[in-house]
Structure 1
Amino acid sequence: MLAAIDLGSNSFHMVVAQQQLGQLRIVDRLREMVRMAEGLDAKGKLDRKVEDRAIACLERFGQRIRGIPAVHVRALATNSVRALAEPQSFLVRAEAALGHAIEVVAGREEARLVYLGVAQANPTRDGSLRMVMDIGGGSTETIIGRGLDPIERESLQVGCVTTTRRFFSDGKLTRKRWRQGLIEVAAEFQQFALTYRQLGWSEAIGSSGTIKAIGKVCKEMKLTNGEITPVALWTLREHVLSFGSVDEIELPDLNEDRKPVIAGGILVLEAAFSALGIREMRVSKDAMREGILYDMAGRFGGVDPRESSIDALMLRYGVDTAQASRVDKTARSLFKQVAKTWKLDSDDMARLSWAARVHELGLAIAHSQYQVHGAYVLQNSDMAGFTFQEQQQLACIVRNQRRSISRSSLAALPDRVRPSTRRLVMLLRIAVLLHRSHEDERIKRKRLIARGNSLTLELNERWLDARPLLRTDLESAPEELKGLGIKLTIRLV
């Protein structure tokens, strides 16, 4: 059993599926209109009533997936949590309610997952390009891809909730406001419109509740057969404006909980059609939550986009692959010796391996403080498959591979990953030290023993005597490790 939870700015969704013979069979769906974006002010503070509404929803979701192992559950938060001034205070409550970890994804990673969900549900055989769009409560994702692979991904800070609040905050619908809204929102799409138009696409597909709702209304009004066209959008806009007020909007087959934000959704879609030159858009039943499911299933099957992201960074920054491989091999060897005692799992092993492979990434910028440069790149790069927290954790491990420990980088991590991150930092530091000379040779008699927060590293005495620089580094290590809370002892044998 697998469960995917999408904490959107407008709705929270959960999909539970069973994986059989490589196929996913949906067994349950839950959706609640939470409207997180509605309770978010300009300073990033969340209204307490809206927060309580979100927590209550997650408690219900948590009850449904109580029997599913944590490794089979993935919960991702999007734009509204990204916009919080103090996201961690909300996430602590939210994780306790759900009973599982919740991670925050960047806009482009959200776009990748949207595309994956839509592409899996709408397979093509000719390999042609297609454009996928998802209008959420606080952001809009636009992607061009081929097959299952996204080529261009963009995320804009415009959504049905935020756009309705921005242009119709008092509930009044006027032609002047709509025209101003179209100008401003279309300007956002113009940032990448030329690139998209030059690439082109054979079909446009829309996902998410907003676009699905607009498609249903177009069908009920007999404007189309369910697809969305420019003429249908213009007709729908004129119909909406005729009501004069958001509260008075009445559209066929439109749910009550979507009425307060449908004006903003139509405006965003009309602006996108205009700026990108979309002639027709059909609607997909699948979206980001299905993308999360397929992404999880792919990881279990050995297809992890995070591996490709690490390889791409190594290539882009000219990482010494031989040295990276040496450090990676030693780090994994040390990990296996202490994993049981330190209660580290396969996910921790993957994080340590990734950090080892890119630990010298910062050398492309400068040798001085290269661990700081590397950490900055890792924390701020667009890395497919990684969440904000995963990038933050990876950056922390790389930042603390040498010199003094950055307590602030550790303090910024969620409480649940801080203890394991300290231990992964320790293992990487030892591996980096042992290979400081960049020599391609076997380290004689390397053994690591863990007891609580104490480590004993056994090394061959003659081998170490031939390496005075390494010996000096190891002797100074205890002073540099104070910020980790781990004691390292060297035993010569």
Structure 2
Amino acid sequence: MDALARAGTLTSPLRDGDMLAAIDLGSNSFHMVVASYTLGQLRIVDRLRETVRLAEGLDGKGGLSADVRQRALTCLARFGQRIREIPPHRVRALATNTVRLLASPQSFLVPAETALGHGIEVISGREEARLIYLGVAHAQRPRPGSLRLVIDIGGGSTECIIGRGFQAVERESLQVGCIATTRRFFGNGRLSRRKWSEAVIEVGAEFQQFANTYRALGWNEAIGASGTNKAIGEICAAMKLTKGAVTAEALPQVRERLLRAGHIDDIDLPGLSADRRSIIAGGIVVLEAAFAAFGLVRMAVSKAAMREGVLYDMLGRGGEHDPREASILALTQRYGIDVAQAARVETTAIRLFEQVAPAWRLDHDDLLMLAWAARLHEVGLAIAHSQYQVHGAYVIEHSDIAGFSRQEQQFLAALVRTHRRRIHKSAFDALPDRLLDAARRSAALLRIAALLHRARDADEIPRLELEADGMRLTLRLERRWLEMRPLLRADLESEPTAIAALGIQFEIAVD
């Protein structure tokens, strides 16, 4: 960690007046929040929201219709104009359920990133849940020691979280949302009691998978987040059933008023905006199922959601409380990683990084990924020694790791997968083009560091100089030190052939 702290000078901490932006590519709406970092706090200076209905464009094969795709790109281009003066490392754009369901996400993400002018990360449902809870917790400060249940009904998924303070304790994500549920049960537009009952039972079965666990843990208050819950709360208030909360008494009355319409086009709920009329039925079904599964009596409604959570998460990433650090530590403990060996490899990898970062244009984010990959490079040993780099890569890519996007996990997995043995051509296939150069170069640094410590020797390397000239690397070592390690010398002699698969020419010089 000392070496990592020294290398932290490669980036600049947040300064007073810095601008940050969070973009949420939801299944129903795209949101952007722009904030100023002022006196150690975030001050919202702008909000943009557009109803894109990305989930409406999904077909049964994981494709996205041309008209919805264009609608999304047009929206992102407008967002991009607003934040074109904000540095890329102060912007986070996150895609959620609909993009997770695409058969070929890159076919959408590449033009989407071009339109926005910034990279877009895809996050898992549980990571989405963590960020939602973080946003709600900062908007409505929790009471010390109390537990709260947060439910967020999106267009394509619903997230349920129990948290304490600012930390999520339990996180779940279900494939039910207002758009998806409306299309599934009321696709022809007709509203009937029979179909409604069927919908509530089927959606309720999804909640039952974890409802008992949640109820056993308990909570002191329930809060709904995002547009669907806010819309239902506004309907309850307009019908004079509550002052904005949703209750077990009010919800059936809202449902009865909706069912009397008979058809989605004829829904006339007071307080309901026109752009939500076509999807509100599915949202009410999901919330009614949640009330039944959790035995809820009352649910307050929060104005905050994932986008605010992303902003506060960026504060942590830019300071001493990066949530990813805790996740890496948890993985090292869970899989019994040899922390002494991992630290040796990490320290050497960082030493190498510091020497080539300017020439290779590697930044602080690349440094973090290299350091974390070094800590986790032996995680696969918990499964088997043979091909442990393959096992380790699988664990990293397919685990729910709090704080990490899918691309970040794929980046880490690629480094772990290629840190030893032959480098397969497909090792970097999952990564977007914008990350390929950094990934391949970081992989080379991790390979060299792991190789230098293959003997698990605690002795310091007396001379360690690495020079980058284009795609050529030259490693300089002390001759006497190397001659005392014939196995290492033999490994180094064969490494140029292996590392060439990364598109890098590797040379060793001794003197």
TM-score (norm 1): 0.99
Q: What SS does the corresponding residue of 1:4 show, helix, strand or coil?
A: strand
1:64 aligns with 2:100: no
Amino acid at match of 2:381: L
Corresponding position of 1:98 = 116
1:349 aligns with 2:350: no
1:311 aligns with 2:329: yes
Q: What SS does the corresponding residue of 2:278 show, helix, strand or coil?
A: helix
1:271 aligns with 2:298: no
| Structure 2: gaps spanning 5 or more residues | 1-18
The separation in 1 between residues aligned to 2:418 and 2:130, in whole angstroms, is: 30
The separation in 2 between residues aligned to 1:480 and 1:328, in whole angstroms, is: 21
1:381 aligns with 2:408: no
Q: What SS does the corresponding residue of 2:420 show, helix, strand or coil?
A: coil
The separation in 2 between residues aligned to 1:69 and 1:485, in whole angstroms, is: 30
Corresponding position of 2:69 = 51
Amino acid at match of 2:59: D
TM superposition shift of 1:124: 2.4
Corresponding position of 1:398 = 416
Corresponding position of 2:30 = 12
Amino acid at match of 2:303: K
Amino acid at match of 2:254: L
Corresponding position of 1:34 = 52
Amino acid at match of 1:46: L
Corresponding position of 2:193 = 175
Q: Does structure 2 conserve the Cα–Cα contact (< 8 Å) formed by 1:8 and 1:136?
A: yes
TM superposition shift of 1:16: 0.4
Q: Does structure 2 conserve the Cα–Cα contact (< 8 Å) formed by 1:39 and 1:47?
A: yes
**Corresponding residue pairs, total:** 493
Corresponding position of 2:249 = 231
Q: What SS does the corresponding residue of 1:125 show, helix, strand or coil?
A: coil
The separation in 2 between residues aligned to 1:132 and 1:371, in whole angstroms, is: 38
The separation in 1 between residues aligned to 2:480 and 2:395, in whole angstroms, is: 39
Of 471-480 and 4-13, the range deviating more from structure 2: 471-480
TM superposition shift of 1:225: 1.1
Amino acid at match of 1:50: V
The separation in 1 between residues aligned to 2:100 and 2:158, in whole angstroms, is: 14
Q: Does structure 1 conserve the Cα–Cα contact (< 8 Å) formed by 2:500 and 2:506?
A: no
Q: Does structure 2 conserve the Cα–Cα contact (< 8 Å) formed by 1:464 and 1:471?
A: yes
Q: Does structure 2 conserve the Cα–Cα contact (< 8 Å) formed by 1:405 and 1:482?
A: no
The separation in 1 between residues aligned to 2:404 and 2:70, in whole angstroms, is: 28
1:297 aligns with 2:312: no
Amino acid at match of 2:178: C
Corresponding position of 2:350 = 332
1:127 aligns with 2:153: no
Q: After the TM superposition, which residues 133-152 of structure 1 pair with which residues of structure 2 at under 5 Å, given as runs?
A: 133-152=151-170
Q: Does structure 2 conserve the Cα–Cα contact (< 8 Å) formed by 1:163 and 1:264?
A: yes
The separation in 1 between residues aligned to 2:121 and 2:288, in whole angstroms, is: 32
1:446 aligns with 2:469: no
| Structure 1: gaps spanning 5 or more residues | none
1:409 aligns with 2:427: yes
Corresponding position of 2:453 = 435
Q: What SS does the corresponding residue of 1:385 show, helix, strand or coil?
A: coil
Q: Does structure 1 conserve the Cα–Cα contact (< 8 Å) formed by 2:235 and 2:272?
A: yes
1:159 aligns with 2:155: no
- Superimposed CA distance per residue, residues 77-135 of structure 1 (whole angstroms, 9 cap, x where no aligned partner): 00000000110010001000000000000000000000000000111233210000100
Q: Work out which of the residue numbers 186, 194, 217 in structure 1 matches 2:212.
A: 194
Of 314-323 and 245-254, the range deviating more from structure 2: 245-254
Q: What SS does the corresponding residue of 2:173 show, helix, strand or coil?
A: strand
The separation in 1 between residues aligned to 2:154 and 2:49, in whole angstroms, is: 14
Q: Does structure 2 conserve the Cα–Cα contact (< 8 Å) formed by 1:204 and 1:280?
A: yes
Q: What SS does the corresponding residue of 1:85 show, helix, strand or coil?
A: coil
TM superposition shift of 1:269: 0.2
Runs of 4+ in 1 over 4 A off after TM superposition: none
TM superposition shift of 1:70: 0.5
Q: Does structure 1 conserve the Cα–Cα contact (< 8 Å) formed by 2:345 and 2:453?
A: yes
The separation in 2 between residues aligned to 1:210 and 1:338, in whole angstroms, is: 49
Amino acid at match of 1:195: T
The separation in 2 between residues aligned to 1:478 and 1:177, in whole angstroms, is: 65
Q: Work out which of the residue numbers 501, 505, 509 in structure 2 matches 1:483.
A: 501
Of 474-483 and 161-170, the range deviating more from structure 2: 474-483
- Superimposed CA distance per residue, residues 377-396 of structure 1 (whole angstroms, 9 cap, x where no aligned partner): 00011100000000001000
The separation in 2 between residues aligned to 1:472 and 1:119, in whole angstroms, is: 56
Amino acid at match of 2:205: A
Aligned-residue CA RMSD in angstroms?
0.7
The separation in 2 between residues aligned to 1:412 and 1:104, in whole angstroms, is: 12
TM superposition shift of 1:326: 0.3
Amino acid at match of 1:146: R
TM-score (norm 2): 0.96
The separation in 2 between residues aligned to 1:337 and 1:24, in whole angstroms, is: 35
Q: What SS does the corresponding residue of 1:124 show, helix, strand or coil?
A: coil
Q: What SS does the corresponding residue of 2:408 show, helix, strand or coil?
A: helix
Corresponding position of 1:76 = 94
- Superimposed CA distance per residue, residues 312-340 of structure 1 (whole angstroms, 9 cap, x where no aligned partner): 00000000000000000000000000000
The separation in 2 between residues aligned to 1:29 and 1:166, in whole angstroms, is: 32
The separation in 2 between residues aligned to 1:342 and 1:392, in whole angstroms, is: 21
Q: Does structure 2 conserve the Cα–Cα contact (< 8 Å) formed by 1:139 and 1:159?
A: yes
TM superposition shift of 1:276: 1.1
- Superimposed CA distance per residue, residues 269-315 of structure 1 (whole angstroms, 9 cap, x where no aligned partner): 00000011111100001110000001001211221111111000000
The separation in 1 between residues aligned to 2:204 and 2:308, in whole angstroms, is: 29
Of 72-81 and 404-413, the range deviating more from structure 2: 404-413
The separation in 1 between residues aligned to 2:148 and 2:393, in whole angstroms, is: 35
The separation in 2 between residues aligned to 1:409 and 1:231, in whole angstroms, is: 55
Q: What SS does the corresponding residue of 1:440 show, helix, strand or coil?
A: coil
